[in-house]
Structure 1
Amino acid sequence: METHKTRDQFFRVEKGKGEIVIDGITHKLKSGDAILVPAGASHNLINVGAKSLKVYTIYGPPNHRDQLVQSKKSVAELSSEHFDGKTTE
């Protein structure tokens, strides 16, 4: 479980099946589904399918540097590349 005290987190499932537990309530997710976890909510996303679960997330306000893509959560957690206020738009 993790909690982001000051950031909402949007999840979109691109491929696979998952479950997300938000404040103790489990929600089933499949390809094409999306869900928003509000700031302060305890949550965990779990792959419940036989194949890989592919998702993307968006933090609001931003948490990571613009254009940064990381293949695994464990890699993202080790990164010190936080949002610097610069965008490419």
Structure 2
Amino acid sequence: MKGYIQNIEKIAVENTAFRQVLYTAKHCQLVVMALKPQEEIGAEVHTLDQFFRVEQGDGEAIIDGVHTTIHAGFAIVVPAGARHNIVNTSTVPLKLYTLYAPPNHLDGVVHRTRAAAEEDTEHFDGKTTEGR
């Protein structure tokens, strides 16, 4: 079957990896993330657009210096070029998923921890899930 059809809320809530790429299409990429208590994604700027959806936990979204409290059910859209960060401000994991448009990471990559993600220099290589 082409495409990706799954219960993303269940997958996001059950995910324990800092970052896991679930599906890569030609123009977008689906990734789940889990931030430990007080952990953050890390301030970054992309040349692509990014969407986040919070499925569990509480935190803060920071876009170009504007801080907004977030919790389950919140959606965040970060336009290309905006400096952004997501911070878990709670005592339980913050579970979310994100869409990069276009893709940003190697298809299928899993970073169990933020440290592992920061050490890895991987970037999208043009290969999609169905093209592997």
TM range (shorter): 0.7 to 0.9
**1:16 correspondence with 2:38:** no
Counterpart selection for 2:120 from 79, 86, 89: 79
Identity of aligned residues (%): 56
Q: Paired residue for 2:45? A: 3
Q: Give the counterpart letter for 2:57 in structure 1.
A: G
Distance in structure 2 (CA, Å) of the matches to 1:69 and 1:33: 24
Q: What number of residue pairs does the alignment pair up? A: 88
- Structure 2 equivalent of residue 38 of structure 1: 79
Question: What residue ranges of structure 1 are gaps of 5+ in the alignment?
Answer: none
Query: 2: distance between equivalents of 1:73 and 1:58?
Result: 18
TM-score of the superposed pair, with normalisation by structure 2? 0.58
C-alpha RMSD of the superposition = 1.7
* AA in 2 matched with 1:23: D
**2:106 aligned with 1:61:** no
Stretches of structure 2 that go unaligned for 5 or more consecutive residues are: 1-42
TM-score normalised to structure 1 length: 0.81
In the TM superposition, what whole-angstrom CA distance separates every residue of 1:21-79 from its partner, at most 9, and x where no partner exists? 11111122111222111111111211112211122222221111112232333322222
Tell me by how many angstroms 1:16 deviates. Answer: 0.4
